[in-house]
Chains A and B, each alone.
Chain A
């Protein structure tokens, strides 16, 4: 952080484009155009934690998912996991757990496909500095129509999985405290099986495309917005990647375990959040390490790094290949997020296949109840990383406290580090162009942030860049896609 901003020029990228939600980046330049400070600001404020207070606890899984339209299933299920414990029904029936898992894998599949094909592929296919008139999803659709169609169809498939498990493609009601409100009918299963093999084929191809791109451009991508960091995720008891259930595992940049299999209910003993005055988004850190060194990354890269293995064959083979790049040590390359994300895409479709052939999904034992509790934590892996939901409920069944630490919040410090690095490496001393400023956004997109969730709104995607002189006068202004 700079001690004083006096005499520095301020460049603003607002809003950041091709991300979920609304944010801005400010860059402070000195007289020699050297970057002195770069920050990602989250400018939304939503207040879910406050306004669900007083509501009936069973309403929360349905209400709180309205945080987001991209991965509402994550919030739906994290809240449901917490409410399972409130009703003493955390040991779900096989049908309930597998229906929820199917819903969650469906969401991973659609969210990862959306991110790769619609938000990221323009940067990879046309180049970071390409003409913004073609560096967008329409450009992809015109030049690579088959890829664009795949992206749309894969997202649709994931949404169809969600519809058949949650009742609706967006904002369903499937998970209820202690279980699920429906099973999967044979007809629904067969509808999903119809397009399954095509989805597997397209997932393999997308992974190959991304892997080949990364390996081919490794020299450029390896240092791009990269830095060493801790990594955090939940992990299955046997060390397998698990996005629905598991204890918390954190590792250092070189793979040493900081903690492992931490009981979700005790997360507050291990995770704390720091507030900084310039952002609505908090900065979480590993408590024993403190805010200076305790910050960590979450999401696909962190999950592949923390996992001992993946329990589906093709994704496991892909993981081994990924880890071989860094000789088995954690991969700390920001741009490797994309490769890791597509390994998860393949894993998700493999799991969907496995589940669709499981007869438990046609079971009729849907809900369990037990001894009532008044406090519970629900943690799972959302597409963008570890998601924490923590609630207290009073004897009248009303929510009296809610604390949400969402995936993108966990990645707050890493995203700031990534853009700081890119700004210093690529922007310092240069005439600023739209293409160069896109480098900043490329680094942010690697993390697939959901700024709506992170502030607990839907933002617009146009971009305004202003260069302001020392006295606050606008000396340069570039506008794209903004109605003024």
Chain B
């Protein structure tokens, strides 16, 4: 991979006796969609707070665009954080005017971004009259104002309905396609699996894993099968050497996991030889969720 957008070395932050972030190292490359995972309280938001200049670090370093951190760099970063924060008595447009002034962006961008997020008609209503979904969309509009190099999202789908979640996901993918870098903190693993190219897992402020999503999801987690005579199928599967685990799932199908050396073709032939014909056979894709839980329990 190419240019490094963000580099963190040995970042540490204490709150009293609690260590929120412990010697964190990270690198985010240009054009990647980077997922920052971890359970609640694992230090994701604290890390982003430091990177965005609102939380003081205790030790360690970080660099944006290979330069020492300073306020003006944040003008090139768009941030969508958990709860959209704006002046409640100002309208959407008036709020964005404040952001334009801070980010040194011309006011003409306001109309463009409001149209982009579908909020143009309500631009003159006060922010406090917006629904949560509209507030979140205004936050997106605000983050897009300066056409940023990097987009940071912290639990962007919290409290949104399925439609809102789908819209955010769509937006992330659109922006990622334009070659921008995205950093996404979330505990919704499904979310990360669908949009991220790389990810790191935090636990108690420590990085316990980092790697590419594609690698982590390569291979499979066994197969899901069913047939007319499920009891006989289960019996045969249990007798087959190389089967690690059998489980009946909520769709009354069998989930079968094999030892590594087993070829699924041999298993299938074995079933046919014994007079069982399958009416369903599908690989079970590996999920980030499963790996995540394994990592955390380790």
* Chain A partners chain B: no
Q: Which residues of A are at the interface with B, using a C-beta cutoff of 8 A?
A: none
